């Protein structure tokens, strides 16, 4: 299995509090991604990174920010959590070379009460 | 990246082959076809990918039509553990930016 770890795996937080999710990789892959998945929906891209300090928005980026200060870590921050951000969050990594694949973490289940 | 179209769901009997279609009629010459699956509550898992030729690995076979406008993922002997959502996506080797997934096909393998 690809070396990708998400932390925490489960979290319950209150509305209005800041929350940071961490994705850590040991593969030295260039691309990292954050997705959310809700019942009845597929994977929706929040943000992605194509290098240290290089990030861009996905299709559902409102209310989220990201940072990547090191190749191995990609942080997702909810500045002020809302109940609509209750979801399962997945991180993925990819080398981005020809014919390569993306690898996914096991997910973080976030509940905002 | 080219769009893909998959049926929303399909059933398969245990032990039989499961053939999952994917349409990608606007695929470009440098785009690969990738298949992933997601078993309930787990992170998506890579299955197989191909460019032009048919491909086979320990999990599945990928058949790409000669015009590359469609492909079929074949699970040769489906088991109950193959019940999952299967995603077909197309990617160019130099466009790993916005990696986005569609709705996929929900495959249910029945005893």
Structure tokens at A51: 């290098």
Q: What angle do CA B47, A36, A55 make, to 5 degrees?
A: 90
> Regarding predicted confidence, which is higher, A41 or A38?
A38
User: Residues B66, A43, A49, A59: what is their CA dihedral angle, to the nearest 10 degrees?
Assistant: 100
Residues of chain B scoring pLDDT < 70: 1-2, 93-98
Does A11 have pLDDT greater than 70?
Answer: yes
The DSSP string of B4-66 is -B--SEEEEETTS-EEEEEE-TT--TTEEEEEEEE-TTSPPEEEEEESSS-EE-SS-EEEE-T
What are the angstrom distances between the C-alpha of B10 and each of B42, B48, B63? 20, 20, 18
Angstroms from B94 CA to nearest CA on chain A: 7
Q: What is the per-residue pLDDT for A1?
A: 57
Between CA A42 and CA A38 the distance in angstroms is: 7
Q: Which residues contact A38 (CB under 8 A, 6 or more apart)?
A: A44, A87, A88
Whole-number mean pLDDT of chain A? 92
Beta carbons of B93 and A59 less than 8 Å apart: no
Contact B90, B27 (CB under 8 A): yes
Does A98 have pLDDT greater than 60?
Answer: no
Mean pLDDT of A2-29: 95
Q: Which of A72-76, A103-107, B74-78, B92-96 has the lowest mean pLDDT?
A: B92-96
Residues of A with CB under 8 A from a CB of B: 30-31, 33, 35, 42-43, 45, 48, 50, 56, 58-59, 88, 90, 92, 94, 96-107
Per mean pLDDT, which of A41-45, A90-94, B39-43 is the most reliable?
A90-94
Give A-chain residues touching B101 at CB under 8 angstroms: 35, 42-43
Give the pLDDT confidence of A50-67 residue by residue, as tens digits: 999 999 999 899 999 999
Beta carbons of A42 and B104 less than 8 Å apart: yes
Beta carbons of A106 and B42 less than 8 Å apart: yes
Contact A4, A24 (CB under 8 A): yes
Q: What is the per-residue pLDDT for B100?
A: 77
Residues of B with CB under 8 A from a CB of A: 32, 34, 36, 38, 41-46, 49, 51, 85, 87, 93-94, 96-104
């Amino acid at each position: 299995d690809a070396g990708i770890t998400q932390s925490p795996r489960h979290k319950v937080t209150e509305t209005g509090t800041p929350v940071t999710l961490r994705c850590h990789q040991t593969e030295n892959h260039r691309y990292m991604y954050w997705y959310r998945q809700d019942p009845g929906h597929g994977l929706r891209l929040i943000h992605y990174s194509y290098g240290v300090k290089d990030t861009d928005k996905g299709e559902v980026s409102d209310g989220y920010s990201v940072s990547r200060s090191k190749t191995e870590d990609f942080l997702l921050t909810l500045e002020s959590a809302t109940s609509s951000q209750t979801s399962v969050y997945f991180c993925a990594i990819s080398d981005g070379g020809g014919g390569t694949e993306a690898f996914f973490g096991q997910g973080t289940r976030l509940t905002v009460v | 990246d080219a769009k893909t179209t998959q049926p929303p769901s399909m059933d398969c009997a245990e032990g039989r082959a499961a053939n999952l279609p994917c349409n990608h009629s606007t695929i470009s010459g440098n785009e690969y076809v990738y298949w992933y699956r997601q078993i309930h509550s787990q992170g998506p898992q890579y299955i197989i990918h191909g460019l032009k030729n048919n491909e086979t690995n320990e999990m599945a076979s990928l058949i790409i039509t000669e015009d590359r406008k469609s492909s079929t993922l074949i699970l040769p002997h489906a088991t109950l553990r193959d019940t999952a959502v299967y995603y077909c996506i197309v990617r160019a080797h130099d466009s790993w930016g916005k990696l986005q997934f569609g709705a996929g096909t929900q495959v249910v393998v029945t005893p």
